[in-house]
Structures are given as structure tokens and as C-alpha cells.
Amino acid sequence: MDEFSDSLLSLYRAASEQPLDAFQDVALSIVKRALPFDSSMWGTATNTEAGIDIHSIHLHNSSQDMLDFYEEVKHQDTAVAMLSRTPRATLAFHSPSLFAGREHSGMRALCGKFGHANMLISANLLPDTRLVQWISLYRADADAHCGERERGLLELLAPHVMQALAMNRLTHLDALRSNRPGAAEGVAIADARGVLYHADAGFEASMRGEWSGSNGRTLPPPLLEHFTRESGPGSRPWRGETTVVRCWFDRGLMFLRARPRKPVDSLTEREYTIAKLLAQGGTHKHVARALGRSPATVRNQIQAIYQKLGVNNVVALARELGID
């Protein structure tokens, strides 16, 4: 019991203290103190007739080669069928025994090549999204069998491991919130397929305001398509009729922030650049030199910017720009 309690305390402490890119390896090192293993696969997926369809994945002491090999033989993975019989399940097994027979030769080859002689796997079905969260722990030593005590310990630990991961992600998400008092914002986390892992009330309201048929389980297709194209650093925000959404990609996930559309969102990219330079203290002549435009052209563009924003001075302009 002390071992279990110590693991929980360490997991939740790590969830609040570790950065997103370090947490899962730290969490696995905590689990490893109670349940020794050599490598791990931790992710989310949906079940299909051809095997699991992976949405997000974290590999510990493993490689993309293993994952590529698994994609070729996953239809032989009978452990998936065993885990999917109930919403929550934890298994312990000896791989050569479970994957005996010609029909499982691919899985046996994978386990032999990548040190998966003995396994502990825990999986949990999320009813809202139909996603399966799972964590697999692998031992390379064929004689290091996983007993019932260890299976039971992972069964107890796994929900806390998943909850600690969710808490760590939410801590990262909170850091994206604006510091402006009273800002009407919403935040969310989704995977690359658009399945929502978390969305607060503000984000859900923004989605319903833009798309009346938004289901709250997945990102609306236009939003997902936009950020799939804009997946690199400095991606452009998505601008709708009523909402503007920004997205940051990290660890294969999308961290999103939504806010109401403002007058500044009607500016073109060139107009926004001019407005920003003005707000930073530049005169129309300074802006013209910076952009290689004539002062007269820039003066006309400044008037158009003021009209769009309904302002008549630089102070008011700077206030309008301070929304992102």
C-alpha cells in the first residue's frame, strides 16, 4: 500500500510541476519503480476491424520502427480484442503463449525483435469520444513473467496515470489563456484527428455560435482543415463570422484558444502590419520607409484602418490591437 500511495503522490506532483514534453517519461519512471519494465507504449486509439487506429502515441525506450512494424501486424493483436470486451481492463501475459500459432506469426516476430516477451496492458474506453486510452509495459526477459499482483497494481495505477496526464495537459492549456481581465475566451485540447480531449464552456459556446450543429466531441471540419494546413510554427488564426481561433501544436496535440471576433480581425495582413507599426510608435513616414511604400499610400491606408476600427487616434488603435 505504501508503494501505491508513494506512486500516486509522485504522479500528481509531477503533473503539476513537469513541462508537457517531459511529463510522460517522468510518469513512466515513477511507475517503473513499482512495476519494472523495459519499454512502453502509451496512447489513444479507436478500435477498427483492422486493429487499433492510433490517434496519439508516446513511445518510451522504443522507436518509430517498432510502431511501423506494429501497423503491419496489428490485425493479429488478439490482446486488443480481449481488452475491448469491457470498458476498462488490465491484462498480464507471456507474448509467445498469447500469440502462439501461425496466424499470429507477425506479432510473435514483433515481440521477439523489440523485446516484448512479457506485457502488462491497461485500457479504458472513453464513452464520449469512443477513444481507448491505453498504456502498455513491456519486459524483454522471457522469464520475467507478470504476475497477478503486478497486474492488479497496474489496474489500480492506470486511472491515476491517465488523470495525471490530463491534469498536466490542462496546466499547459491554462498557460495559453490571456492575462487580460474579463477576456471572453475559451480553450480546448484536441488530437490531430480533431477529437476533443478537453473543451471548457467558453470554447464550446464559441463553436456553437459559429456552427449550430457543433457536437462538442470533435472540432468542426473547417477548423480542423485550416489547422491541418497551418500546422507549422506561426500558423495563422482561423477567422469565422463570430469567432477567431488560434492553435499551438505540441506532442501531437492541438491546444486551441477561441475568442469573439473583433473589428481588428477585418484588417488585411498589410493593414494589420501598418496598424502594429503605428501602435508601436511609428509615424506614417517611418511606416512607409519600413514597408517600401510611399507616404501618401500609407496615409490613405491608415485612414482606411481607422474607419474599419472606428477609431481616430493611435492610442485607441493600440487598444484595439491588444486583443491577441
Instruction: Note the pLDDT tens digit of each residue in 58-75.
Output: 999 999 999 999 999 999
Characterize 220-237 residue by residue with b for buried, 16 or more Cβ atoms within 10 angstroms of its Cβ, and e for exposed: beebbebbeeeeeeeeeb
Check whether residue 121 and residue 156 sit in a common domain.
Answer: yes
Check whether residue 230 and residue 123 sit in a common domain.
Answer: no
User: Which 3 state secondary structure label does DSSP give 216?
Assistant: coil
Check whether residue 297 and residue 201 sit in a common domain.
Answer: no
Q: Which of 167, 202, 223 is the last residue of a domain?
A: 167
Element holding 96 (H helix, E strand): helix 95-98
Check: CB of residue 143 under 8 Å from CB of residue 149.
Answer: no
145-164 pLDDT tens trace: 999 999 999 999 999 999 99
CATH code where residue 307 lies: 1.10.10.10
Check whether residue 20 and residue 64 sit in a common domain.
Answer: yes
Number of structural domains (the chain) is: 3
Report the pLDDT value the prediction gives residue 14, as an integer from 0 to 100. 97
Check whether residue 13 and residue 157 sit in a common domain.
Answer: yes
* Burial (CB count within 10 angstroms: exposed 0-12, middle 13-18, buried 19+), residue 72: exposed
Q: Please report where in the chains the cell 475568442 appears, as a residue.
A: 259
Check: CB of residue 81 under 8 Å from CB of residue 51.
Answer: no
Most confident of 71-75, 275-279, 318-322: 71-75
State percent of the chain over pLDDT 90.
Answer: 64
Report the pLDDT value the prediction gives residue 324, as an integer from 0 to 100. 46
- For residue 49, the number of C-alpha atoms closer than 13 Å in the C-beta half-sphere is 0
Mean pLDDT of 217-246: 87
170-212 pLDDT tens trace: 999 888 776 555 567 899 999 999 999 999 999 999 999 999 8
Domain extent at residue 192: 176-261
Q: Which of 113, 132, 167 is the last residue of a domain?
A: 167
Q: List Cβ neighbours of 168 (8 Å cut-off, separation of 6 or more).
A: 14, 15, 16, 18, 20, 23
Report the pLDDT value the prediction gives residue 240, as an integer from 0 to 100. 92
pTM: 0.83
